Structure formats: C-alpha cells, structure tokens
Structure 1
C-alpha cells in the first residue's frame, strides 16, 4: 500500500509545543469541557464533538429567534446564491442574544489554545488570549460585522461544501451547535466535512451531534503529520439533505466579517 494512504501518525497531540496548559472555564456547561481531550479528537478525526453547550430550553429559545427579523443584520436564502437550500441569518451586534455572546466569549480561550498549538506546527501567527483582542484586530482590518449566525433547514434543504472566511484575518476554528433534536425534530441533515489529502483521495467525515452539542472544526485547513513533515489539509463543510422536520443550528465563528 502507498505510504501516503496510511493513517497519519504520530498524532499531533504527541508533538512538542509551547501552548501551555489548557484553559479551564468556570461555571455553566462550559466548565465540563476537557480541552485536552477535544484537541486529541480534533487531531485524530479532524473534528471534535463537545458535550452539550446549551440547555434544551436555550436551544429552543435560540431556534425561535429565526422568527424575529429585527435581531439580524442580514439574511440569506441559500438557493438564490447557489449555496444549497435553506436559509441563514447573521445576528446584529446590538441584538445578539446573551447565550450566543456568552458562548462565543466562553469558548474562545480554549479555541485559541488549540489554534495556537496548530500555529506553532504550521509556522503561522499566534492568536490573542481573549475574544475582545481578536475582534480589535479584526476592526483594524475593516472587519466589523459580527458573524454568529442561525441556520434553518426544512425538508429537502441542504448546504454545499464551503468555508467561512469573511476577510483577511481568519481565526482557524469554529463551532456549530445543534438547536434541534435529531430523530425528534428532524431526520437527515448530518454535518459533513471533506478533507483534501495530498496525493490521496479526499476524506469525508459525517457527524450527527445531539441536541445542544457543538462540533469543532477547521475553517480552512488543519495540520497533519505526513511522511515528510507537517502539511496542511484543506477542509470544507456542509450539511446533508434534511429528510423531514426542521433543523436549526447556531454557528459560532470567532473572527468578524468585512
């Protein structure tokens, strides 16, 4: 068998880095996150599935915000742009629901810890320790528009493979939190990730999170140990066809948009 087609090894979490210990959140559901374990899963699988980040009540309340257009700075009908079928909307800065603000702020230190370990492997820039500092850097580059978004899909809806870049400054990881209960509120609609591998077939990963769970995944690429050192694997994400019911997802992107 061609060596390039064998599983990538050793795992990246065994490599030395200068990222320091993983941060610890205090209070709420975020307090239960094991960032070391999430980092191992992210490097092994290419994505990482968290425990529930929101309560069922918070999920229902956020899914219902889609019926309140005054909360959003812009709305997109996906079929109109060839993105798929369904719709999504970006929360306006002044009207972003508090659970969304808290989740974005609370997740960021752990996400930055992982992102900086990747940066050391790839020879890329480091990211600041706080979300406020990251957003200040975004503003310096003309990226002022908030990016947390609500996605809603009905029967037959789907999302094509894409990346959420939005500007010059791109934080390398993002989180999608499922706001609807699979097999109860909807069927189908799996989260799909496709990773391009040099001199090998692309690799697909399909994830079915539960209600309130988050999926951590790369925005553009991830580091992988290859036969000749660390290389970048491009990653795109999308959503499989929803077969029945209604699927709602909260997208937590950490960099702002132009």
Structure 2
C-alpha cells in the first residue's frame, strides 16, 4: 500500500479518507495493515516532543524492570493532547465494522457501541477507567518483547501504532513484529518498518482464520526488534481503558 496521501485538512479527515476497504482486507489476511501517511513531520515531532512533559502522563514504565524488553513508555493521563484525542476518535468508527465482523465469525459477543465515548463508558462502569494511549521511546539496544495489550475483561480487538520518527534517518532497526500462532501449524511472523506519520492497524489479542470447522481464533502477539542506532518514538492507540 502506498504511504503517500494529501496531508491537508485535520488528521481525523485524513483517517476518514484512507482506503478502508483495502486496509480491512489486509487486516483480515495478515492481522495488520499499514495506513497511508496521516500525520505531517511537524505533527509527528510535536507528539514525540511531549515525552519530556511529565505532567501529561499518569505513569511511566521501565520495560527492563518488568522484563518486558528494554526501553520506556508513558501512559497519557486525561485530558489528552488534542491531536492524540482526535486520532483515537477518528480511528474507532472505521475499526468497528472489522471488530464486529470478527466477533460474528468467532461466535463471540460484540459489545462495542457506535461511538468511542459510549464504549469507554462501558469500560469505566466495569472498573477499567485508566487511559491507555501510550507514547513510547526507544534508544540504541532497546526492544519490546512479544506481548498483548490486555488490561481487563473488556477488550477492543484492534489497535493502532503511529511512527513519529523516520527510519533510516532518525534510527535503524526497530521493526514492528507480529507473530501469529496458527491453528495446528507453525507460527507466522510479519515484519513492518513503520514510516514517519503512518499508522499500523493490528490485532490486539487474536483474529479469525479459516479452519476445517469454519473459523478459529488465532492468537497474535506483537513487539519491536532491537534499535541499532538513533531514537525511535511511536504513539500507541488502544481503544479500551485499563483496570
């Protein structure tokens, strides 16, 4: 998929004008799909620059301390910076049809309302009230272990990570890793180099794959390969809040 697009208008309009049928098909096939460029370099730098404003975040996680890998990330606190809020709200309605389709294929409940605000209210009523948008910073030697972002019983099955630095110029290494445990088969890996301003849509927990009995849930984990040089920032958009 091409990563070029018209960067006029607001980010929510750029998200809306993306080729959603093509991205939905790619997510269904691979478990992930790369968007066109949805943020300008200046917008990327503005978000990455927020990392040092500690007052914007509810917590900071040292990955090595918890054996998550090496590096650091921070969870935004409410209220979010406007651009982060816009992006989270912009993606949700376009991911929702995919989520509902997957639930139907796997014969699971589809508890997600039409709006993100309604869904987050359900999360909060269930005791999941901590905001989950993440700003991540990786330096040379840092990496992120394969994992899944599950913060409670209520889970939205898709999430988005947006590249804020330019690979090959600002850093090297740091490829996004997706590993799928396929039913009765060897695991399959997908590697994506995340260009600046582009988003990667990917499955949070698992996804439906065809099997002899119809559809089966294929567990998926994600991570980041070792940063070789430079500094890598990404914005992570999770669509369920945490307990």
If the length of structure 2 is used for normalisation, what is the TM-score? 0.93
Once the 2 structures are TM-superposed, how far is the Cα of residue 229 of structure 1 from its aligned partner? 1.2
Among 122, 132, 135, the residue aligned to 1:137: 122
2:75/2:131 contact within 8 Å kept = yes
2:78 is equivalent to residue 93 of structure 1: yes
Among 76, 82, 86, the residue aligned to 2:67: 82
- Unaligned 5+ runs, structure 2: 1-9
In structure 1, what is the Cα distance between the partners aligned to 2:120 and 2:95? 14
* Higher Cα radius of gyration: 1
In structure 1, what is the Cα distance between the partners aligned to 2:51 and 2:11? 30
2:205 is equivalent to residue 220 of structure 1: yes
Among 188, 195, 200, the residue aligned to 2:180: 195
Partner secondary structure for residue 79 of structure 1: coil
| Per-residue deviation, residues 195-246 of structure 1 (Å, max 9, x unmatched) | 0012111111001121111111111100001232100000000000000000
1:33 aligned residue? 18
1:68 aligned residue? 53
2:48/2:233 contact within 8 Å kept = yes
2:100 is equivalent to residue 116 of structure 1: yes
If the length of structure 1 is used for normalisation, what is the TM-score? 0.88
Once the 2 structures are TM-superposed, how far is the Cα of residue 32 of structure 1 from its aligned partner? 2.1
Partner secondary structure for residue 137 of structure 2: strand
Once the 2 structures are TM-superposed, how far is the Cα of residue 28 of structure 1 from its aligned partner? 2.9
1:232 aligned residue? 217
Question: Hey, which bits of structure 1, 4+ residues long, moved more than 2 A?
Answer: 25-28
From the superposition, tell whether residues 164 and 125 of structure 1 become closer, same or farther in structure 2 (CA, over 3 Å): same
In structure 1, what is the Cα distance between the partners aligned to 2:63 and 2:194? 23
Among 23, 27, 33, the residue aligned to 1:48: 33
From the superposition, tell whether residues 27 and 207 of structure 1 become closer, same or farther in structure 2 (CA, over 3 Å): closer
In structure 1, what is the Cα distance between the partners aligned to 2:178 and 2:65? 23
Partner secondary structure for residue 166 of structure 1: coil
2:4 aligned residue? none
From the superposition, tell whether residues 151 and 80 of structure 1 become closer, same or farther in structure 2 (CA, over 3 Å): same
